[in-house]
Chains A and B, each alone.
Chain A
Amino acid sequence: MPIRREIYKGIKDIPRQEYLAGGTGLCAGCGGLLALRLFHKALGPNVVFVNAAGCLTLLAVFPFTPFHSSWLYTAMASAPAGAQGVRDALDMLIAKGRLSKDENLKVVVVTGDGAAHGIGLQATLAAIHRGLDFYYFCYDNEAFGNTGFQMSPASPFGSRTATTPVTSATPGGTATHKQDLFKLWEAQQPAFVATVSPAYPLDLMDKVARAGQLTGPKLFISLAACPPGWGVEPAESVEIAKLAVDTGVWPLKEVCDGKVVHTVRPHRFRPVEDYLHGQTRYHHLFAPVRQEEILRQLQHDVDRYWAAADADAGEVDNRLATVRA
C-alpha cells in the first residue's frame, strides 16, 4: 500500500528557497546534485555536511562553496565517524552551556556509492550500530564516478565500467551483482532507511520530512544518473532516473515499523530494456548481437524482486501478466 504523503503533496509544496547555489563545478545533469538539492530543501537551514571523497567533494573548492550551510570534508573511509564527532561535540557544547540550543545543527553525511558500499561501509555500519543521530545521503551512480567510472560494489550486473570493460572474453561487462546496501542497513534497524530518486521529488522530500521527526540514523540512497558514466545526455538524466523507477529497476521504498514499504509502485511496469536502451554502458547488450541471456537475467531479477515484494505486501500479483502482455 503506498504511503500517504504528509507534507509534500504537490509540486507547489516544494519551497522556492535554495540552499545550494547554481554554477557548481559538477557535470551537467548530475543526478546526485539534483537529489542533494532537493534533500537540502527538505532539511532546511542549519545543516553541516560531512563528506567522503567522491564527485560531490568538488562542490566546495577553495575559496568557494555553493552551500548555504557548513561543510567538512573528511576522507573516503570515515565520513560517518566525522559525523559522530560533530554530533557529539555539538551535544556536549550545548549540554555544558558553551553553545546555545538554537545554534544546533543537523549532521548529514554525503557520500557516493563507492565509499558507501566499500571503503566506508565499516564506519557506516558502526555509526548505525551506535545509534548516531544523523542523516546519511548516498548518491548512487553505480560506479566510482569521480575517478572515471570504475566498477564499485554498486555497479549492476551486465553494465560496462572502466574496469569491467566489454571484450570478447568478457562480453557481459560487470559479472557481479549490485550489493544490496538497503538490506545491509535495514538489517541493523536504523531509525529510518529509504531509497529515493531525483525524478520523484515529492517522494524524496516527504521521506526526508518524515525521517526528520525521528532520532537516530536516517539513511537515504538516491539513484544518481551520471551522464558521462552512463552515456546519457545531461538533459536526459531525470528521464532516465524516472525510467529506472518505472521499469522497477530502482524501487522506491522505506522501512516503516520494521517492514519494507514501497512508496511508489508503477501501475504498469515498463520492460527493463526501455531503461537499458538509452545508456551506452548497456549498448553491448544490444549490438552487435543481442545478449539474450543477460537481458533475460536482468528482467528476471526485477520480476523476482517485485513478486517477492508484492507477496510480502500481501497484494495480489497480476503484474507479471501485465508486463508480458
Chain B
Amino acid sequence: MTRELLTGNAAAAWGARLAEVDYIPVYPITPQTEVIEALAQWVAEGTLAARLVTMDSEHSMLTAAGAAAATGARVFTASSSQGLVYGLEMLYTIAGWRVPLVLLNVSRALAAPITLEPDHNDVLAARDSGFLQIHAESCQEVLDSVLMAYRLSEHADVLLPVLVNLDGFYLSFTREPVELPSVEEVREFLPPHKAAHGFSASHVLAQGVAVLGGTGYSFFKYQMQRAAEAALTAHDAIAGEFCRRFGRCYGAVESYRLDDADWVIVMSNSFSTVGKEEVARLRARGEKVGLLRLRLIRPFPDQEIEWLLGDRRAVAVIDQNISIGKGGILFSEVASALRGRTPPPLLSFIGGLGGRRFRSEEFDTIMAALHAAENDGGSVEPTLLYSEAEYRQMMEMLRIAQQGSASTPEK
C-alpha cells in the first residue's frame, strides 16, 4: 500500500487500473479527460494490460462497453454531462443486457446554457436506467467506490452495471492524499473477472432480443428490479468486507454527527464536505444538527433513511439538481422513503447549480427554516438558493453588455 497525492480523476483511473480491466472504450469530455488520458498512458506503456479504443461518440462508446461486457470482458469507461445524456439510450440497453461494467461519471451541469462546472442533473437523468449509482465525496472514496462497484456489478445476485459519480472540478481536479492498495490486495478483494455469460463458439447466445407484448417485457424489468433490491444487501456485505480489508467503511448513506441530532441536513457528493463544515460551525453555536450524505442513489436505501430520519424534529434536503416544474429530485426520493410513518417536517432547498458555491449565511437560513418548520411544517415549495447580490451582479452585467452594444461606433 502506498499513499499518493491524487486528483479525483487520477483516483478513478487508478481504480480501473487496480481492477485490472480488459477493455476501455473512450470519448473525451471536460472534466473527465484526465481519467482517460491517464489510462491511455498506462495502456500505451504496458502497465495496464487492456485495450483502449477512442470511439466516435459517447453513444458508440457505451455500446462498445456494453457489448464487450456481454462478451465477457471486464470493462471500464467514463463520461460526463452532455456525453452521459448523449449515451443515455444505451444505458437502458446495457442494463437490460444484465452485464456488469463500471461507468464513471464526472458530474457537470447540462446545457442550455452550456457550462463546465458541476451539478447532478446529468447523473440523475440516468437514475431510472437500471445502472446502480454510487456518489463519492472524496478522492479516496472515488478509488474505493470503483473497486466496490466491480464487486457489486459482478455479484451473481445483481449483474447490473454500476455508475460511480464524482463532482467535476471540485473533486475531479482536487488533489488529496489517496491510499493506493497493492494489486495483490485488490485481487484478494476483487478476483479476476469470470463472466456469467458471453459470446463464444461453444456458447451460442441471443442477447437483447425483442419481446412482443407486455408479459415478456415486464418479466425482464421485474427481474431487474429484484436484482437492484438484492444489490442493497450485496452492497452491505461488500462494504463490510472492504472495511475489514482496507479499514475504510462506506455505507449506503453516511452519517455525520447524526446520533443525537434533532435537525438533519441531507446532501450528496463533494459539496457534503462544505455541509459538514457548516454543521460543525452550527454545532459550535449549540445547534443539535447533523448531516446525512446519500451515497447509494440506486438502489435507494429507503429503510435506512427512514430509520435515520424518521424521528428527527425537522429535515432539510439540499439538491444540486432541479427537476423543472417539480424541484429537487433527491427531496422527492427522501420524502418517498419516509412514507411509512408520520414524517418529520421536510424542507427542500436547491443550490449549487452549475458549480455555484454555498454560503454560510445560507446554512443559517436553512437552520432557521428547520426551527420554524417544527412548528408550522414548513413550505412545500422548494427554496431556490440565490442571493440578492447575485441577482444585482447579473443585472449589472446585462447593463454593461447593453451599453456596449449601444455604444458600438457606426461605420
Contact = CB atoms under 8 A, between A and B. Distances in A.
A208 B207 CA distance: 25
A238 to B, nearest CB: 27
B25 A85 contact: yes
A89 B210 contact: no
A130 B60 CA distance: 13
B202 to A, nearest CB: 6
Given A62-B211, A122-B56, A89 B72 contact: yes
A61 B209 contact: yes
Given A86-B68, A93-B71, A126-B55, A61 B211 contact: yes
B68 to A, nearest CB: 4
A75 B200 contact: no
A70 B22 CA distance: 22
Interface string A67-92: 11111111101111111111011111
A119 to B, nearest CB: 10
B200 A74 contact: no
The dominant DSSP class at the B interface is mixed
B93 interface: yes
B53 interface: yes
Contacts of B401: none
Contacts of B404: none
A79 B22 CA distance: 21
B88 to A, nearest CB: 11
B22 A92 contact: yes
B209 A86 contact: no
Interface stretch (A29-37, A98-106, A253-261, A298-306): A98-106
A219 interface: no
B381 interface: no
B89 A88 contact: no
B55 A74 contact: no
Interface in A117-141: 122-123, 125-126, 130
B70 A86 contact: yes
Contacts, number: 161
B205 A73 contact: no
B63 interface: yes
Interface residues of A, number: 48
Contact of A84 (B53, B90, B208): B53
B65 A85 contact: yes
A65 interface: yes
A69 B23 contact: no
Interface in B202-256: 202-212, 216
A115 interface: no
A60 B210 contact: yes
Chain B: interface size category: 35 or more
A91 B198 CA distance: 13
A155 interface: no
A229 to B, nearest CB: 20
Interface string B58-102: 011101111111111101000000000000011001000000000
B204 A70 contact: yes
Given A78-B59, A89-B23, A105-B199, A70 B68 contact: no
Given A75-B63, A89-B67, A81 B209 contact: no
A4 interface: no
B303 interface: no
Contacts of B64: 81-82, 84-85, 88
A50 B205 CA distance: 12
A85 B68 contact: yes
Contact of A81 (B22, B51, B63, B70): B63
Contacts of A92: 22-23, 50-51, 73
Given A50-B67, A126-B60, A81 B55 contact: yes
Interface of B: 22-23, 25, 49-51, 53, 55-57, 59-61, 63-73, 75, 89-90, 93, 198-212, 216
Given A85-B64, A88-B73, A123-B59, 7 more contacts: A63-B209, A71-B207, A74-B93, A75-B63, A86-B68, A88-B51, A89-B73
Interface of A: 45-46, 48, 50, 57-58, 60-63, 65, 67-75, 77-86, 88-93, 96, 98-99, 102-105, 122-123, 125-126, 130
28 contacts: A57-B210, A61-B212, A69-B204, A70-B199, A70-B207, A71-B207, A72-B199, A74-B67, A74-B93, A78-B63, A81-B55, A83-B67, A84-B25, A84-B53, A85-B23, A85-B64, A85-B69, A85-B70, A86-B199, A88-B25, A88-B51, A89-B68, A89-B198, A90-B71, A92-B50, A93-B71, A93-B198, A96-B22
